Amino acid sequence: MTPKPFPRALDAPSGESVVLDAGLIEPAIAASRESPRRRVILRLHTSDADPYQRMLNAVQPGSYIRPHRHRDPPKGETVIVLRGAVRFLTFREDGAVATSVVLAAHGGAIGLDVRPGVYHTFVALEPDSVVFEAKTGPYDERVDKDFAPWAPAEGSPEAVPYVERLAG
């Protein structure tokens, strides 16, 4: 019997409105602790076809989100830290860091809006960090992310030291 793969995303809660509270966030955090990827998405939108994609990303230190951009079609992305802290980075075409900013729920900068076509990623600086992410839809896994060719692939041996460098 093949084991069921760990979900990358949890289904959206039902109902006409969703209250973003500890009762919603805690199961996503618990799932991120158990995930081999050290993160899990909790969808707030109900369909990949939705024109406005909203999600909570529960992420643990050491999780690697390969730098990417949204370019087909071009999409900006807004992130707001609801719990914990992350380092958000943008990159130039050659892989040089253009922006590196700590976003934290408990002070200073709490969010960032990245323009379409800009390579970006974030790394968790605190356990149980939760980030609200929003971008235009629809979501098509085949073209959503244009991964940076200069960044190591997720799961590769080079990814571990790379994410450690990004965390600073």
pLDDT tens digit sequence for 86-100: 999 999 999 999 999
**What domain count does the chain have?**
1
Specify the 3-state DSSP secondary structure of 133. Answer: strand
Q: Which domain holds residue 91?
A: 17-167
Under the banding of pLDDT at 50, 70 and 90, the label for residue 114 is very high
Task: Judge whether residue 1 has pLDDT over 80.
Answer: no
Q: Choose among 162, 160, 150, 11: nearest CA to 69.
A: 150
pLDDT tens-place string over residues 5-23? 667 888 899 999 999 999 9
Task: Tell whether 27 is covered by a domain.
Answer: yes
Here the CATH number for the domain that contains residue 92 is: 2.60.120.10
Cβ contact 80:111 at 8 Å: yes
Task: Tell whether 6 is covered by a domain.
Answer: no
Q: Position 151: which residue type?
A: A
Beta strands in 5-117 (DSSP E): 9-10, 39-43, 52-59, 68-69, 77-83, 85-91, 97-104, 111-114
Q: Averaged over 134-138, what is the pLDDT? A: 94
Specify the 3-state DSSP secondary structure of 19. Answer: coil
Under the banding of pLDDT at 50, 70 and 90, the label for residue 4 is low
